[in-house]
Amino acid sequence: MQVVFDVLEKLNQEGTLREYAIGGATAAGIHGEPLATRDIDVFVFIEPPASSLLITLEPLFSRLVALGFSTFDEEGLLIGDYPVQFLAASPGLEMEALADAMVMEWDDHRLRVIRPEHLAAMAMTVGRPKDRARVVYLVELPQFDRELFSEILQRHQLVSRWNEWSSALGLKTDV
């Protein structure tokens, strides 16, 4: 997985990506116990081209092809042995999650990872069964910051959804 981290850092340092952060099950596993996942979700922010309101991942993929990464496996571009799915961060919660991402070192490799509090809030906006399971997992982590989570829920109008989910999932509601 380190090759993925190194490529992401290279893209960030050279300016191909303005910001990035590992998300999804990979990020949840980094914060606690490893979780089974087939791909690595990477949320990215790329400046829109001059005089355009549309964001395209084309410059990112062109640069990755130039670096020798051009094979897709299902929905992810293979970097090393890992399919990596690049997701343009949406305004609001996802952009905030990128801006507040944790910078970590793992076996002498630098990476940016979405905080568990943002991961939980993002999972709540999707709502699949696996997202509900992820919320349960994340809020039970010892380092989960309930105060920060509460602030995130309030900023992104997710308090009522949290109240519904926490009641249905048997979680502590005091956030």
CA atoms within 13 A on the CB side of 109: 14
Flag whether pLDDT at 9 surpasses 90.
yes
Flag whether pLDDT at 86 surpasses 80.
yes
* β-sheet bridge partners, residue 21: 43
User: Distance between CA 78 and CA 67 in Å, rounded?
Assistant: 12
Q: What is the pLDDT of residues 54-72, one digit of tens each?
A: 778 888 999 999 999 999 9
Count Cβ atoms below 10 Å from residue 110 Cβ, excluding itself.
14
User: Distance between CA 77 and CA 70 in Å, rounded?
Assistant: 7
Give the pLDDT confidence score for residue 172 in this predicted structure. 73
Count Cβ atoms below 10 Å from residue 32 Cβ, excluding itself.
15
Average pLDDT over residues 104-124: 93
